[in-house]
Amino acid sequence: MTRRSRDVAWAVVLVLAIGAQAQVPMLAHAAEKTCFQVAAPWAPELDVRSDVAIIYGMNDSFASRLAGWHDRGYVTHFMTGIAWGGYQDYFTGKFDGVTHNEDGQVERNGEIIWHGRNVPYVVPSPAYIAYVKSLVRQAVDAGVVAIHLEEPEFWARAGYSESFKKQWQSHYGFPWMAQHESPEATYLSSKLKYQLYFDALKEVFAYAKAYSESKGTRVRCYVPTHSLLNYSAWRIVSPEASLAALPGMDGYIAQVWTGTSREPVFFNGVRQERVFENAFLEYGSMVSMTAPTGRKVFFLTDPVEDWPRTWDDYRRNYQATFTAQLMYPMVDSYEVMPWPSRIYRGRFKVEGSDVTQPISRAYATQMQVMVNSLNDMPLSDNRIDGSHGIGVLLGNSMMFQRFPTHKEYEDPQLSNFYGMALPLLKRGVPVQTVHMENLGFAGTLTDVRVLVMSYANMKPLSPDVHQHLAAWVQQGGVLIYYGRDNDPFQEVREWWNTDGRQYKAPSEHLFELLDIRPTADRERYECGRGVAYIVRRDPKELVLEPNQDGAFVEMVRRAYEQDARAGTLQMKNHLRLQRGPYDIVAVMDESVAAEPLRIAGPVIDLFDPELPILSEKMVAPGQQAYLYSLRRVTDAGRPKVLAAACRVYEERTEGRSYSFVAKSPSGTQSVMRILLPAAPVEIAVTGPDGQPVNEVEPSWDAGTRTCRVKFANHCDGVCVTLTW
């Protein structure tokens, strides 16, 4: 017994639990709330304890890997790339006797864009789609219940291969145009890239549904994808929002993590990483993409990332992205991590050292507390504190204007989007995004009072967009349009300047529907019961230089308070959400105040691997907090595990005792905070072999009636019984 445990006024006895089993089987969960993707076979140190194991990659070991995870009680899915993967057998001719290097995405200099050895990023030809179908067939035959085809990615700088030229001729009916030669060629090239992967997914998913039904089941089909913001920033084209209405499409995994969210952005003239803010907007774009369609979405976070950095860096940014995902209470399904082998077996440096080392016990414990909390994270009708109802319009065509540039028009770091969003978010306004592709769905604009938009960085793909926007404004909505309408993509051959239409810019069509004739000396126009503002500046001008966003913010304030009559526009330096017993908090720097935010206790600090009880938590600017409020515990008279670095099964309360089985990856440390009616007089902790677990560290907090217990985790289960 440790010195610390002797300091508390109660006795702890470690006893052998009668009838303890060597292994406690885990039943498959009916719900698929949490998941992780894994390429490695099951191993004790990788046993993450989520509901679903998504087995990655089709090869000779797939069946055995699938069986290994299934036999440990996991629901099993299959994942592979739709634009790349371990597809050497396709490119070397093993699949059908023909090599297919012509399907590689090719840059202007003639170089193939490679994803890995002998595997390029792919132009999805009919032969390639047939190959992907063969992978799906094998997965269905193996018994998976869902298929994930991840990252439909076509690089904007690609588009010069013979395969792509053939697809161009077939799609457009006229010869290929080199995309670097004109804005129109760039736009048409990106539209085709977008369409090719939309068609590829449509065909493969239709096959997956039909083939699985022929086997007496029906698999679900998901697309794990980066956000529209990230693909636009990284100059990648993908179908994105259009997939939400695709028959056979069941949902997405929102691939947002440190690697995407640390992309530097401009604000107040400074280009730097703003990980929390970027992640918040990325997750929000995935919500706006899916919410009107009813499609399921899993939010992903990663405790590490693809690029080698330090453990300290990983932890800071994991906390930021994790906090951002929890700010969306309408989502309660999560991919808790990709690649557990990289996390538990990886070696990275710590700050101030050149020596690589495995994950620390403290970070592994903290991460497991966070991951396991997601298994219990509730949906909530609560909203982030602050002023709601302000949206920024997005569209898939943001991806079409990113590369190459023309006529020296630049949009550094996607600043034409961030110029509309960051001045509000940095002032504590939980701005939301709205996908123009979803405007036709009822409810898309129901909660939006003020909508900010620009065509400096995107274009409407059909006139229907303007029909929906005009109707919304005339019924009482408030629209703020920022844009000079002088970027070179205004001139591409599109619906607004063909078939009898002669608008110089698509916005002219919108203004005509609103019965507006803009003049240089006027910004505000009444339109039916609504109002439109037109400002002839590009949004990027609000963030590329210091102190340029003041007039924009005041316009939003006036539109919100006076025109929309939505209440006072609150300005603050933080976002906070109460979600069940959880407090999710982010305090932003570069904001309206530099003071920390005080959260009243008692709370459990879930970012601290010791799970301390705090009487208050002070959150400084630039930091986030994840807290369990002991004031909001439901059914507080019943024993329960409030937070733990393990997952709890087989809970039983009998008389004056409470017992359960705790599981987590072997070789890691568990810490638990347990609510009890009274201080325990006896604790029994036994391993899967039935032997007492040594080095148990208990402590009791009388004020909150919580017991903290530490012990070594085991994938086969540690039995814990507390008696009071």
> Each residue of 370-423: pLDDT tens digit?
999 999 999 999 999 999 999 999 999 999 999 999 999 999 999 999 999 999
Contact 621, 686 (CB under 8 A): no
CA 388, 392, 393, 398: dihedral to nearest 10 degrees?
Answer: -150
Collapse the DSSP code of 368 into the 3-class scheme (helix H, G, I; strand E, B; otherwise coil) and give the result: helix
Burial zone of 216 (CB within 10 Å; 0-12 exposed, 13-18 middle, 19+ buried):
exposed
E strands within 269-344? 270-272, 296-300, 334-338
State the span(s) of the chain assigned CATH 2.60.40: 3-22+636-723
Radius of gyration of the chain (CA): 27
One-letter amino acid identity for 555? M
Distance CA(274)–CA(622), nearest Å, equals: 9
Q: What share of the chain is helix, strand, coil (3-state, %, to 5)?
A: 30, 25, 45
Give the pLDDT of residue 303: 98
How many Å apart are CA 222 and CA 339, to the nearest integer? 18
C-alpha atoms less than 13 angstroms from C-alpha of 357 in its C-beta half-sphere: 15
Range 390-563 classified under CATH 3.40.50: yes
- Point out which residues pair with 671 in neighbouring strands: 710
**For the segment 442-473, what is each residue's pLDDT rounded down to a tens digit?**
899 999 999 999 999 999 999 999 999 999 99
Report how far residue 178's alpha carbon sits from residue 338's, in angstroms, rounded to the nearest whole number. 38
Per DSSP, 647 falls in state E
Query: Which CATH fold topology does 3-22+636-723 show?
Result: Immunoglobulin-like (2.60.40)
Residue 593, Cβ density class (10 Å: 0-12 exposed, 13-18 middle, ≥19 buried): middle
Amino acid letter, 210:
A
Report the mean per-residue pLDDT for the chain: 94
As annotated, the residues of the chain forming the CATH 3.40.50 domain(s) are: 390-563
Q: Taking 90 as the threshold, does the pLDDT of residue 28 lie above it? A: no
d(CA 283, CA 584): 15
Q: Tokens 């530099």 identify what position?
A: 594
Query: Residue 63: phi, psi to the nearest 5?
Result: -60, -40
Question: Which residues face 120 on adjacent strands?
Answer: 114
String of DSSP letters for 378-436:
PP-S---SS---EEEEE-GGGGGGSSS--TT---GGGHHHHHHHHHHHTTT---EEEEG
Task: Say what the pLDDT of residue 694 is.
Answer: 84
Residue located via tokens 């004056």: 656
Alpha carbon 469 to its chain's center: 28
Q: Which two tokens stand for residue 30?
A: 């009916």
Mean pLDDT of 321-347: 98
Q: pLDDT category, 116, cuts 50, 70, 90?
A: confident
The pTM assigned to this predicted structure is 0.95
pLDDT digits (tens, 9 = 90+) for 278-309: 999 999 999 999 988 889 999 999 999 999 99
Residue with tokens 């590490």: 304
Over residues 564-575, the mean pLDDT reads 98
Give the pLDDT confidence of 481-508 residue by residue, as tens digits: 999 999 999 999 999 999 999 999 999 9
Span 547-572, average pLDDT:
98
pLDDT value of residue 13: 33
Is the pLDDT assigned to residue 6 strictly greater than 70?
no
Q: Look at residue 643 and tell me whether its pLDDT is greater than 80.
A: yes
530-535 vs 524-527, strand pairing mode: antiparallel
Q: Where do runs of H (alpha helix) occur along 7-101?
A: 62-70, 88-91
C-alpha 238/C-alpha 150 separation (Å) is 11
415-425 and 275-290 helices, crossing angle to 10°: 100
Share of the chain above pLDDT 90, in %: 92
Q: What is the DSSP letter of 562?
A: I
Closest Cα to residue 329, out of 376, 381, 375, 403? 381
**Tokens standing for residue 599:** 């959260």
State how far the Cα of 211 lies from the Cα of 215, in Å rounded to an integer: 7
In angstroms, rounded to a whole number, what is the distance separating the alpha carbons of residues 504 and 169? 28
